[in-house]
């Protein structure tokens, strides 16, 4: 998987006036996501608030400020790419860092805010809420 900095760098090379290239790139990012096992695509892992089906699996280490890793999947190509971007931004970081990280500046920088349908934007916000909730929960369990 790419890092968020690699994704930012790749977006910087894409034509800012042609969002088609950016959409194709987002879809490519989603194609690189490892598949979740069928039993991981459960109601427990499903992100509510998304029009497309999105599943997030949360794994956390032990410790006062645990590292939290996420794996995800969607049944929609573009949304799978958005999942990949959110995983690049949040996965593998300490829970406190996840809670403190605001995705909005990154989404604006990538031009995603202005090009997503309202339904996809709402789904993306639901995914971010879920990620931050799981990180906050990891902090509370560790305390």
Query: Which residues are the active-site residues?
Result: 50
Q: Which residues of 42-75 are buried (b: 16+ CB within 10 A; e: fewer)?
A: eeebebeebebebbbbbebeeeebbbbebbbbbe
User: Is residue 104 within 8 Å of 110, Cβ to Cβ?
Assistant: no
């Amino acid at each position: 998987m790419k890092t968020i900095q690699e994704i930012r760098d790749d977006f910087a090379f894409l034509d800012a006036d042609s969002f088609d290239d950016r959409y194709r790139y987002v879809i490519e990012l989603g194609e690189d996501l490892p598949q979740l096992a069928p039993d991981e695509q459960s109601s427990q892992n499903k992100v509510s608030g998304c029009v497309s089906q999105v599943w997030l699996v949360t794994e956390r280490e032990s410790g006062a400020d645990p590292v939290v890793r996420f794996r995800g999947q969607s049944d929609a190509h573009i949304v799978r790419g958005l999942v990949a971007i959110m995983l690049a931004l949040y996965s593998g970081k300490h829970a406190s860092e996840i809670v403190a990280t605001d995705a909005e500046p990154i989404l604006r920088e990538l031009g995603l805010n202005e090009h997503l349908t309202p339904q996809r934007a709402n789904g993306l916000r639901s995914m971010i809420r879920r990620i931050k909730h799981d990180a906050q929960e990891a902090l509370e369990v560790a305390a």
